[in-house]
């Protein structure tokens, strides 16, 4: 038997998206949500997650938006964050090489984001990344190492349907690809 997962990304990112996700959880419209540990509204996530243990929760690891949880100065040195520790949009995807000290800083940041969500008492079922940065060839091995070392599940599932906060449904399987709509239709017909 197949299970279709309807996931809401960016849980905790800001008030609008967080409240919309809470509404979707309370209406039974989603079965999963990924939590942004460095989002603006993490405090709103804990209570709802505890009230709704039937929902599968994951961590939505972020290296391209909002404040770093570790504020490691190495990030600023490589232009990954600004002088206030705020991640610079898309900069992580522009890396051509990842020196050892930056790799170490990335691992520490990812572990801190996961630990932050676990500290809320929320059991985790999966891990993925904001804007799919983890799918890059330099970053995927780091992502997989962190997920493995922390004994978390891989983000890859046979079928994932992600419902975003704008009521659009997007099929995601190991990242986006050309012809995605046709793939989704085929998958649903095969069920």
List pLDDT tens digits, range 157-191: 333 444 344 444 444 444 444 554 565 555 555 54
Q: Is 35 helix (H, G, I), strand (E, B) or coil?
A: strand
Q: Could you tell me the domains of the chain?
A: 6-190 (3.20.20.370)
Assess contact for 154 and 147: CB atoms under 8 A: yes
Residue 98: band (very low, low, confident or very high) from pLDDT cuts 50, 70, 90: very high
Q: Tell which residue, 84, 14, 22, has the closest CA to residue 55.
A: 22
Q: Which residues contact 124 (CB under 8 A, 6 or more apart)?
A: 57, 58, 59, 114, 117, 118, 152, 153
Burial (Cβ within 10 Å: 0-12, 13-18, ≥19) of residue 94 = exposed
pTM for this one? 0.78
**Res 130 pLDDT > 90:** no
H helix intervals, the chain: 15-26, 42-51, 73-77, 100-118, 140-149, 180-190
Residue 72, pLDDT score = 96
């Amino acid at each position: 038997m197949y299970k279709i997962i309807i996931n809401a990304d960016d849980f905790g990112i800001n008030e609008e998206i967080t409240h919309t996700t809470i509404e979707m959880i309370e209406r039974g419209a989603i079965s999963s949500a990924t939590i942004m540990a460095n989002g603006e509204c993490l405090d709103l996530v804990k209570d709802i997650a505890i009230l709704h243990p039937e929902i599968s929760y994951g961590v939505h690891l972020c290296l391209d938006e909002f404040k770093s949880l570790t504020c490691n100065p190495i990030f600023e040195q490589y232009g990954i964050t600004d002088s206030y520790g705020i991640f610079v949009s898309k900069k992580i995807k522009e890396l051509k090489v990842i020196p050892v000290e930056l790799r170490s800083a990335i691992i520490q940041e990812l572990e801190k984001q996961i630990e932050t969500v676990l500290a809320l008492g929320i059991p985790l079922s999966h891990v993925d990344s904001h804007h799919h940065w983890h799918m890059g060839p330099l970053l995927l091995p780091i992502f997989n190492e962190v997920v493995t070392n922390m004994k978390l599940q891989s983000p890859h599932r046979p079928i994932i349907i992600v419902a975003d906060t704008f009521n659009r449904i997007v099929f995601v399987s190991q990242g986006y690809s050309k012809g995605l709509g046709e793939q989704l239709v085929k998958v649903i017909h095969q069920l």
